[in-house]
Amino acid sequence: MNSATPALRQDERTMADFFALPDRDIFAKTRPFFQFCGEIRDRGHYLYRRTLLGPSANRVTVWDEERETARSMVMMASNNYLGLTSHPRVVEGGLDAQRRYGAGSGSVSLLAGTLDLHRQLEARLAAFKGCEDAVVFPAGYSANVGCVTGLAREGDLVINDILNHASIIDGCRLSGATIKAFPHCSVEALDKLLGRTAGSHAGRLVIVDGVFSMDGDIAPLPRLIEVCRKHGARLMVDEAHATGVIGPGGRGTPAYHGVEGQVDLVVGTLSKALGGVGGFVASTREVVHYLRFYARSYMFSTALPPAVAGSMLAALDVIEDEPELLGQLWNNIRYLQAGLRNLGFNLGNQETAIFPLIIGDDLRVKEMGRMLHEAGIFANPVFYPAVSRRLSRIRLSLMATHTREDLDLTLEACERAGRKLGVI
Ligand SMILES: Cc1ncc(COP(=O)(O)O)c(C=O)c1O
């Protein structure tokens, strides 16, 4: 570290501090960060990259590094909302595609990597989202980056809900457009912002998450659509945590609000409720066609492997044929919501399968994460800089495949830790 490095008090350091450390050697920051992680590991607060020895199901087998043994835990941190990662039809769909098409697609989609499976998948996703067409990306992250950078340029204005996902923010930064934000879900503030910026930029794109990834609340789409139309701005919705979770048939936020086909750009992932990996943008035929040529994260990245495309086609079949999975997920959501509220946890504006247990004190969040881990509950502590300090939390996410026993064990462990730490 060079002498200009600011002294960081041990208890005040966060992940945000290391990237900012200036030094002539760009590797210099890696050593203090390595040491910092060792220190939080010693305190039992390092809960990253816990390793699963089997599927990401309601119960997982986790390698316990400290005790050098495998242990069973209740998984409360997976985005596998419908349990499709290991659904037999989804697994078989992938195996069958892999046997018929091989391991990889061999090229980027635009040139030589498009399989009939990809075309089928895009058509199915477009229909599922009530849009004319869809383009599939290698990840949800690259779908967001590709969508924004493909459409917005220097001179344009992108306007984010302040709680939008990092992949949207990265896309905005990379696009070169001017970036502004409005307070979380405040349609009034957006209305004013659009009014103030009328005529100041070439094009304007408003972006929201359909279901917000840290809070589990739902964007007020009908009013957002109205305001965007009033001001001539386009609206993009990230459906990562909404697809397969909300709306009739799990078709997502526009369907939930009865405004299907009225959102300009619907972005989604295949990695959460669909149980695989990949992302998509659904829109009009012309917009999707344009993105195939201008979304660099699509154009310059190899198409999804056949196994994933096959699995995702099967996942869409399962969502259609087995609506009871969505019913089970919602039974679980209601049960856990009632249980946690009765215990006195602050769940913020939670409405869906993502549960923030808002504590607002980084140290107690870390301690609670450690205690849940010890109790066999796999949950994610989330603190600054991922969320603001006053909103640090434990984040739980639910699956259709959780049993009552899983949920009761979770409630008991949350109650014990919450009482001990004085957060309930
Ligand atoms: C809201 C949101 N958008 C996009 C992504 C990126 O999706 P993926 O993990 O499929 O790349 C995520 C999650 O990781 C997310 O939570």
Is 215 in contact with 209 (CB distance < 8 Å)?
A: no
| Nearest-angstrom CA–CA distance, 390 and 369 | 17
Sequence ranges of the chain with CATH classification 3.40.640.10: 86-321
pLDDT at 12: 64
The first and second tokens of residue 307, run together, are 């196994």
pLDDT at 391 over 90: yes
Assess whether the C-beta atom of 397 lies below 6 angstroms from ligand 1.
no
Judging by DSSP bridges, how do beta strands 380-382 and 354-358 pair with one another? unpaired
pLDDT at 283: 98
The first and second tokens of residue 377, run together, are 């509950």
Mind listing the pLDDT tens digit for each residue in 65-84? Answer: 888 999 999 999 999 999 99
Taking the whole predicted model, whether its pTM rises above 0.85 is answered as yes
CATH class of the 86-321 domain in this structure: alpha beta
pLDDT at 6 over 70: no
Q: In this structure, which topology does domain 51-75+325-421 adopt according to CATH? A: Aspartate Aminotransferase, domain 1 (3.90.1150)
Q: Which candidate in 213, 271, 297, 392 is catalytic?
A: 213
3-state DSSP: the chain helix, strand, coil percent, rounded to 5?
45, 15, 40
| Nearest-angstrom CA–CA distance, 406 and 94 | 29
- DSSP letter assigned to residue 132: S
Assess whether the C-beta atom of 356 lies below 6 angstroms from ligand 1.
no
Would you call the peptide bond into 55 cis, given omega within 30 degrees of 0 as the criterion? no
Assess whether the C-beta atom of 140 lies below 6 angstroms from ligand 1.
yes
Rg (C-alpha) for the chain, rounded Å, is: 22
185, with CB counted inside 10 A (0-12, 13-18, 19+), is buried
Residues ≥6 apart with Cβ < 8 Å to 116: none
Mind listing the pLDDT tens digit for each residue in 168-220? Answer: 999 999 999 999 999 999 999 999 999 999 999 999 999 999 999 999 999 99
Mind listing the pLDDT tens digit for each residue in 85-122? Answer: 999 999 999 999 999 999 999 999 999 999 999 999 99
pLDDT at 5: 39
Give the C-alpha distances (Å, rounded to integers) separating 290 from 135, 255, 326: 10, 25, 34
> What would the mean pLDDT of 35-39 be, rounded to a whole number?
93
Which of 271, 297, 354, 387 best tests ligand 1's pocket when mutated (most atoms within 8 Å of CB)? 271
Number of C-alpha atoms within 13 angstroms, CB side, residue 217? Answer: 15
CA of 100 to the centre of ligand 1 (A): 29
